Amino acid sequence: MPVIKSIEDLKKIRDQAKDQINLRVDNESKTRVVVGMGTCGIAAGARQVMLAILEELKKRNVSDVIVTEAGCIGLCQYEPLVDVIKPDRPKVTYVNMNPDKAREIVVKHIINDQVVDEYVVPNI
Amino acid sequence: MEIYRAHVLVCKGTGCVASGSEPIFETLQKEIEKKGLDKEVKVIQTGCLGLCELGPNILIYPEGSYYCQVKAEDVPEIVEEHLLKGRVVQRLLYKEPDSKERYRSLMDIDFYKRQKRIALRNCGIINPEIIEEYIANDGYAALAKALTDMKPQEVIDEVKKSGLRGRGGGGFPTGIKWQFAANAEGDIKYVVCNADEGDPGAFMDRSILEGDPHSVLEAMAIAGYAIGASEGYIYVRAEYPIAVKRLEIAIEQARDRGLLGKNILGTDFSFDIFIRLGSGAFVCGEETALLASIEGRRGEPRPRPPFPANKGLWGKPTIINNVETYANIPVIILKGADWFNEIGSEKSKGTKVFAIGGKINHTGLVEIPMGTTLREVIYDIGGGIPNNKKFKAVQTGGPSGGCIPADLLDMPIEFDTLVQAGSMMGSGGMIVMDEDNCMVDIAKFFLTFTQEESCGKCPPCRIGTKRMLEILERITNGEGKEGDIELLENLAKSIKASSLCGLGQTAPNPVLSTLRYFRDEYEAHIKDKKCPAGACKALIHYEIIADKCKGCGICIKVCPTQAITGERRQPHVIDVDKCIKCNSCFDRCPFGAIVKI
């Protein structure tokens, strides 16, 4: 463990460590990503989608995003479903996800704030 | 750095470890690995969450789901349902005693909503064995601020201005104590932490040491800087093995990180901390006895002055503060005295941690702003008295405090109000009593404790408490005489006035306060040879009311001495000579046919 020699060192460690405990505080003000994990979702490959999202977030060093699961909401034929809920914004639901599309959403929507229209749930 | 989508916090404070949180922790890790979730879900051990009675406790973030009384068998379900499929396991969620609703998030429940956690700010949130988690919550930032932005005198001024008073018993203003030690002449000075928590039922210091040991280390270093000391000692009970282990880990990590040792944070301030184990003598919580024990001598108090601030450890100027007092210091330095001043009441600033026990629904640890009323603590946070019994009194301050009766329930909790009511803040034990508790018996219980723990150095405490206890034993055995009450009062006053240390000076308090508020109970014992609460065995006997008895035979089965006889469906009878008054039949009778007279 490196020795902390100055306030700057301490602040640096604090900022790094903050990400580690981030999940336990102020969860209302963070972006939420909800992956459908009902039987239908799991069968359609939701686990891989979730893992891809987590991996992409890690690669890009994004830590203030909550990734969580939900049960079936009835659109089973469109699974895997992924909801992205940014604070104070309406929920965006993406359908027929796969790991590649999910990565795209992390980069475009979660990080750069652009909704990926072509994957959004159609008006059925 | 790894990013986890879920954190599972398992309480590993003494309470939850005792109810089995360790196997749960291991099973969780195994199950999570089995399901292939170990890269996404992190299992963390943490300190006391406060609701020890409902342990083992588990918290899952980001939802904040609060599961209580979890068993190892429940773990696969939690992993499969909650962590894999995202479905909260409803049946394990916390439930308020009087409502059917189950609460998803910890912060929604009444027990937590009304608390203000300063000393316990990190307990149940961080992993106490990882220094980075403490740093993440602004840990050691107060030390950094003190060392670089503040002069030692400014640190003392800030603590003085905050109005912080000692949380260990006496309630002496902390800043003034520091000032005395800073002003004292001497090149070597010491900082001591009193973690010899001895009051029956109080465990806030243990919980802080177990859940957030670094806050105490940081505060001691700040104190060292303020008074010019370079060594600190923590005197902690050997009966607190988890606390000792976490302290050792914390000290080791702080040294590795250069937050203890030479030239802390690149400044010329050096400070190190050592642990000394106490063997559980109650008197060693008294500061001069504690210092004697650290020095390797017998734990006995000595007359003051000189106070430890002038002549303390090895004769050098020393400050001694309690664990909870220290836990407040980093926040005061970081957020400022003005912020701290806003919390609490006019005369008592900040918060106080209480360990609530006895006849109450939620046994556990709560931190409340000073000035909160006893009623709020007992009914709103503590959930009231179980089994619809009537509240009778609450004992604050442990064996050194006193009983506070029902008509003072709306009294705000402050240092001075408690003293006026004949009790004291003490270290923050709070034992709730209901109509079944006999107040003479309670006074006897506490006096038995202090009498046993008297170190024997001064006669008033050694002999006086023994005589008082003999009188109380006489009274509860039905052998009380006219004049016993006056004799008790007389002895109590002499012992208070002439004892050497706090132990003896406060030992008569439970007797005096129960005499003040429940004198009629003493009189009933002495004059009528009756115990109104039905608790003193020598003064009661059991009878069966023939009209109410259905002859079901349950009491015959539970009686260990075959004292109950009777035909089926016919009223039963108790043979008073055989009865050992164990209360089993009384507890079990479904018709309320058995009475204590």
Min Cα distance A119 → chain B (Å) is: 23
Range B147-151, long-range pairs (CB < 8 A, 24+ positions) = B147/B225, B147/B264, B147/B265, B147/B267, B147/B269, B148/A7, B148/B265, B148/B267, B150/B333
Query: Is B9 in CB contact (< 8 Å) with chain A?
Result: yes
* Segment B103-127 mean pLDDT: 85
Residue range B326-347: average pLDDT?
Answer: 96
pLDDT the model gives residue B99: 67
Residues 6+ positions from B563 with CB-CB distance below 8 Å: B574, B575, B576, B577, B578, B579, B580
Q: Check CB contact of A116 with chain B, cutoff 8 Å.
A: no
Phi-psi region of A95 (alpha: psi -120 to 50; beta: other; left: phi over 0): beta
Secondary structure class of B580 (helix, strand, coil): coil
Average confidence score pLDDT of chain B: 93
Superfamily designation of domain A27-119: Glutaredoxin (3.40.30.10)
CA distances from B532 to B297, B434, B443, B545 (A): 47, 13, 15, 19
Query: Residue with structure tokens 């407040």?
Result: B328
Does the beta-carbon distance from A10 to B144 stay under 8 Å?
yes
CA B106/CA B421 separation, integer angstroms: 35
Q: What are phi and psi of B353, to 5 degrees?
A: -90, 135
- Looking at chain B, how many residues does it have? 597
- pLDDT for A124: 65
**Backbone φ, ψ for residue B521 (5° rounding):** -70, -40
Confidence label for B334 from pLDDT (cuts 50, 70 and 90): very high
C-beta of residue B101 within 8 angstroms of C-beta of residue B83:
no
* pLDDT over 60 (residue B1): no
The alpha-carbon gap from B101 to the nearest alpha carbon of chain A, in Å, equals: 21
Give the model's confidence band at B86: pLDDT under 50 very low, under 70 low, under 90 confident, else very high. confident
> What tokens does B42 get?
């992190």
Q: pLDDT (tens digit, 9 = 90+) per residue, B142-164?
A: 999 999 999 999 999 999 999 99
Does the structure show a pLDDT above 70 at B98? no
Indicate the angle between helix axes B213-227 and B241-256, nearest 10 degrees: 60
Any chain B CB within 8 A of the CB of A124? no
Q: How confident is the model at residue B201 (pLDDT cuts 50, 70, 90)?
A: confident
Closest CA to B10 of B51, B59, B68: B59
Q: Is residue A23 less than 8 Å (CB to CB) from chain B?
A: yes
* CA separation for the pair B94, B117 (Å, rounded): 20
Identity of the residue in B138, B144, B256 whose CB atom sits nearest the CB atom of A7: B144
* HSE-CB for B486 with a 13 A CA cutoff: 3
User: Which phi and psi (to 5°) does residue B252 adopt?
Assistant: -60, -45
Number of Cβ within 10 Å of residue A26's Cβ equals 9
pLDDT at A85: 92
- Tell me the average pLDDT across B497-518: 96
Å between A85 CA and nearest CA of chain B? 14
What pLDDT shows up at residue B203?
A: 92
Q: Does A82 touch chain B (CB under 8 A)?
A: no
d(CA B413, CA B424) in angstroms, rounded, equals: 10
Interface test mutation site (partner B, options A9, A12, A13, A21, max chain B beta carbons within 10 A): A21
- Beta-strand pair A65-70/B391-396: unpaired
B264 CA: distance to closest CA in chain A (Å): 7
| Nearest-5° Cα angle at B465, B464 to B467 | 65
Q: How many CB atoms lie within 10 A of CB B557?
A: 11
Q: Which residue among B86, B132, B266 sits closest to A5, beta carbon to beta carbon?
A: B266
Which phi and psi angles does B209 have, rounded to 5°? -65, -35
Nearest CA in chain A to B258: A3
**What residue of B is the nearest CA neighbor of A62?**
B3
Q: How many angstroms separate the CA atoms of B550 and B543, rounded?
A: 14
Check residue A83 and give its pLDDT.
93
With 60 as the cut, is the pLDDT of residue B456 above it? yes
Burial of B161 (0-12, 13-18, 19+ CB in 10 A): middle
- Please report the residues numbered 258 through 317 in chain B whose beta carbons come closer than 8 angstroms to any beta carbon of chain A: 258-259, 265-266
Shortest distance, CA B256 to any CA of chain A (angstroms) = 6
Residue B595 forms contact with A (CB below 8 Å): no
| Mean pLDDT of the A58-81 span | 86
- pLDDT over threshold 80, residue B104: no
Question: Which residues of chain A are within 8 Å of residue B257 when distances are taken between CB atoms?
Answer: 1-4
Handedness of CA B397, B402, B406, B410 (dihedral sign): negative
Residue B356 forms beta bridges with which residues?
B364, B430
**Quick check: B100 pLDDT over 80?**
no
Which pTM was predicted? 0.90
Task: Give me the mean pLDDT over the A94-104 stretch.
Answer: 95
Residues of A in contact with B87 (CB under 8 A): 71
Q: How is chain B split into domains, by residue range? A: 6-113, 131-340, 351-434, 439-527, 541-596
Interchain CB contact of B470 with A (< 8 Å): no
Given a contact cutoff of 8 angstroms between Cβ atoms, the answer to whether B280 and B237 are in contact is: yes
B286: pLDDT confidence band, cut at 50, 70 and 90? very high
Alpha helices in B372-528 (DSSP H): 374-375, 415-420, 439-453, 459, 465-476, 484-498, 502-506, 509-517, 519-527
Domain B351-434 matching CATH 2.120.10.70: the answer reads no
Topology of the domain comprising B439-527: de novo design (two linked rop proteins) (1.20.1440)
The amino acid that residue B383 corresponds to is G
Cα B318 from chain centroid (whole Å): 26
- In the CATH scheme, what is the code of domain B541-596? 3.30.70.20
Contact call for residues B507 and B454 (beta carbons, < 8 A) = yes
The chain A residue lying nearest B264, using CA atoms, is A5
Name every chain A residue with its beta carbon within 8 A of the beta carbon of B146: none
Minimum-distance CB partner of A20 among B136, B253, B258: B136
B297: alpha, beta or left? (left if phi > 0; alpha if psi -120 to 50):
beta
What 3-state DSSP class applies to B108?
A: helix
When CB atoms are compared, the residue of A5, A42, A67 closest to B5 is: A67
**Nearest-5° angle of CA A31, CA A33, CA A38?**
155
Query: What amino acid is encoded at B514 in this protein?
Result: T
Angstrom distance (rounded) from CA B191 to CA B205:
17
Question: Can you tell me whether residue A65 is helix, strand or coil?
Answer: strand
- Confidence grade of residue B289 (pLDDT, cut at 50, 70, 90): very high
**Other Cβ atoms closer than 10 A to B546:** 13
Q: B402-455: per-residue pLDDT in tens? A: 999 999 999 999 999 999 999 999 889 999 999 999 999 999 999 999 999 999
Q: What percent of chain B has pLDDT over 70?
A: 99
Q: What pLDDT does B231 receive?
A: 97
pLDDT interval class at B3 (50, 70, 90): confident
B186: nearest Cα among B314, B275, B273, B301: B314
Which chain A residues in 33-62 lie under 8 Å from chain B, judged by CB atoms? Answer: 34-35, 37-38, 42, 50-51, 54, 57-58, 61-62
Chain A residues closer than 8 Å to B3 by CB: 19, 54, 57-58, 62-63
B96: confidence class by pLDDT, cuts 50, 70, 90: confident
Residue A10, chain B, CB below 8 Å: the answer is yes
Chain A contact for B62 (CB, 8 A cutoff): yes
pLDDT tens track for A13-59: 998 888 778 788 777 788 999 999 888 888 999 999 999 999 999 89
In this predicted structure, what is the pLDDT of residue A17? 86
Q: Does domain B131-340 have CATH number 3.40.50.11540?
A: yes
Decide if domain B6-113 falls under CATH 3.90.1710.10.
no
- Domain boundaries along the sequence of chain A: 27-119
pLDDT mean across residues, chain A:
89
From the CA of A116, how many Å to the nearest CA of chain B?
Answer: 23
Say whether A27 and B86 touch across the interface (CB within 8 A).
no
